[in-house]
């Protein structure tokens, strides 16, 4: 199902956890993933996808990430 509003389209779907895991595993061998891996030089990478809305706790999210890095260093 696609939902459109304010010139934006959202594809709404339900995924079984096994489907999500399969999609993630298939992406591990992709070209883009290999490029990212090659630039890390054995460092860890934390990646998050989120809507950066300043009115919804952006400062708190950065503080939480800071605490994570302080308590669980690479």
How confident is the prediction for the chain on average, in pLDDT? 79
Which residues have C-beta within 8 Å of that of residue 33, sequence separation ≥ 6?
Answer: 27
Distance, in Å, from the CA atom of 14 to the CA atom of 39, rounded to the nearest integer, reads 34
Model confidence over 44-57: pLDDT tens digits? 887 776 666 767 78
pTM of this structure: 0.39
Distance, in Å, from the CA atom of 35 to the CA atom of 61, rounded to the nearest integer, reads 27
């Amino acid at each position: 199902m696609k939902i459109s509003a304010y010139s934006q389209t959202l594809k709404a779907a339900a995924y079984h956890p096994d489907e999500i895991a399969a999609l993630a595993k298939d992406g591990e061998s992709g070209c883009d993933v290999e490029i990212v891996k090659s630039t890390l030089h054995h460092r860890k990478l934390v990646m998050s996808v989120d809507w950066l809305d300043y009115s919804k706790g952006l400062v708190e999210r950065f503080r939480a990430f800071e605490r994570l890095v302080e308590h669980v260093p690479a």
